[in-house]
Amino acid sequence: MVVGLLLLLVACGNQAAPLSDETAATATVAPAAETSDQTPVVPASGPERDPGEGNAESVLLAATTAMSDLDDYQATIDLTLLGPQNGEISMDVAMLGSPLADNANDSRFRGEVSASSIPSIPAGSIVVLGPAFYWYQPETNMVFTGEQSGYVELMTLFLSTQTRAAQLASSAIAVGNVVGEEQVGEFNTIRVDFIPRPGVEGTAALGRNVQASIWFDQETKLPVQLIYRSHAGGMEWSMTNLAINSGLDESIFTFEPPPDARVVDLGTFEAIPVESLDEASREAGFPAPLPTYLPADLPTEPNRIVVQKTPLGNHIVSNYTLTERGNGDFPGFDDFTPRRVNGITIEAFQTDTPSRRQRAGQRASQVTEETIRGVPGTIVEQRPNRVHVSWDENGITYTVAGTGYDRDEVLQVVEGLNLDT
């Protein structure tokens, strides 16, 4: 919930200061990897290869062992997300422990964003999860702090780059083919292409039409470049400035907010489950949106209503959801069918901060600026049957997000909202 709210609250920044660490000079630094100027080769199944050309199993075992055994980690990662949240981000990260550890979300972490086109993570962001949690946005000069460390999207993105590599390398869902040695910037790497195992492609683990390759550094055994694409999107990332097991100083994981910054304690973002839209209106201090039209397969009453009271304004979220669970919790079964969720989420946010409506559409698959209910609005079509509509009306920012429904049906929900209840 907090992350969803912050998508509305946080504005873009400009520049972030580099990571500072007096111990960096003594770190064991792997060669820097410049972005490769070669056109990435689309991964394929590949021909039969002479065993003398390489052994994918040994490469992958060495990689997963190296990733699991990390004591600390520093790198610059250039990441491109494909699909619903299209965008690019460059981030400097430092972390104690392994990104594959069971408690990775609780690890000490510092991330600084030098450039970003991802709406919810502006350039200039500094996230520190050390003795305390800080999320600094330079443009608004705001610092968010509190106990929400496990839910910070910047850290989640970094962990996703590593867990996707580890997931492929584990051999549980894909078979690796050694292509051979390739130079990636200054890294001497071994490239491995991956083929989904039978019964896995098309499930929640991999999606359909999967193409995947990882380049493993021969010195550290770690992945330094990855390309992963499927029908639903994917990611591409490359790494530079890699340093591992350098004995990071604890001072890296501290942050002193600028003296003139506005500090917002996320602990004061009180989330209140309520039983009705009338109760939500009373708690928030403004009318909760009441739909007069919903798709026929959805319940007429919300499954869930939450009011969130924050120092920046109050927020109402109501969910109308239909869930059909598949017949297996893990892909690989011959008759596995993934869970299907259809739903409409309606949000209203009243605040004195600038509208975040414009940010919602950046880098999405298809974005149009249109008149919504007589005022300027944004429609984002992220993929088939996933539509996000946002607009400002009477000092309140409204969003309606639909999953499983086309643009016309979501707009019918929007136009039918009663905002004066």
pLDDT range class, residue 366, cuts 50, 70, 90:
confident
The partner residues of 316 in beta bridges, in order of sequence, read 307, 348
**257 in a structural domain:** no
Taking the C-alpha atoms of residue 415 and residue 399, their distance in angstroms, rounded to an integer, is 12
Taking the C-alpha atoms of residue 24 and residue 75, their distance in angstroms, rounded to an integer, is 11
Q: Identify whether the C-beta of residue 359 lies closer than 8 Å to the C-beta of residue 7.
A: yes
Question: What's the token pair of residue 360?
Answer: 């919602």
**251 in a structural domain:** no
Q: What is the CATH number of the domain that holds 44?
A: 2.50.20.20
Residue 281 sits in the same domain as residue 230: no
Residue 91 sits in the same domain as residue 193: yes
Residue 224 sits in the same domain as residue 320: no
Place of tokens 């907010």: 257
Which of the residue ranges 249-258, 278-287, 353-362, 371-380 would you say has the lowest mean pLDDT? 353-362
Residue 202 sits in the same domain as residue 301: no
Indicate the number of domains in the chain.
2
Taking the C-alpha atoms of residue 20 and residue 40, their distance in angstroms, rounded to an integer, is 33
- The pLDDT tens digits for 229-273 are 887 778 999 999 999 999 999 889 988 889 999 888 877 666 789
User: Would you state the pLDDT for residue 55?
Assistant: 66
Could you count the other beta carbons within 10 Å of the beta carbon of residue 183?
12
Give residue 24's domain range. 16-244
Residue 196 sits in the same domain as residue 294: no
Residue 198 sits in the same domain as residue 291: no
pLDDT range class, residue 322, cuts 50, 70, 90:
confident
Q: Identify whether the C-beta of residue 366 lies closer than 8 Å to the C-beta of residue 355.
A: no
Which of 244, 277, 300 is the endpoint of a domain? 244
Comparing C-alpha atoms, which of 104, 3, 5, 10 is closest to residue 353?
10
Comparing C-alpha atoms, which of 154, 155, 168, 174 is closest to residue 225?
168
pTM across the whole model: 0.62
User: Would you state the pLDDT for residue 123?
Assistant: 81
- The pLDDT tens digits for 38-63 are 333 333 333 343 333 346 889 999 99
C-alpha atoms less than 13 angstroms from C-alpha of 280 in its C-beta half-sphere: 28
Residue 364 backbone phi and psi in degrees, to 5? -80, 170
Residue 89 sits in the same domain as residue 191: yes
- The pLDDT tens digits for 269-297 are 667 899 999 999 999 999 999 999 999 99
User: Would you state the pLDDT for residue 265?
Assistant: 81
Question: What's the token pair of residue 284?
Answer: 């928030």
Taking the C-alpha atoms of residue 227 and residue 25, their distance in angstroms, rounded to an integer, is 31
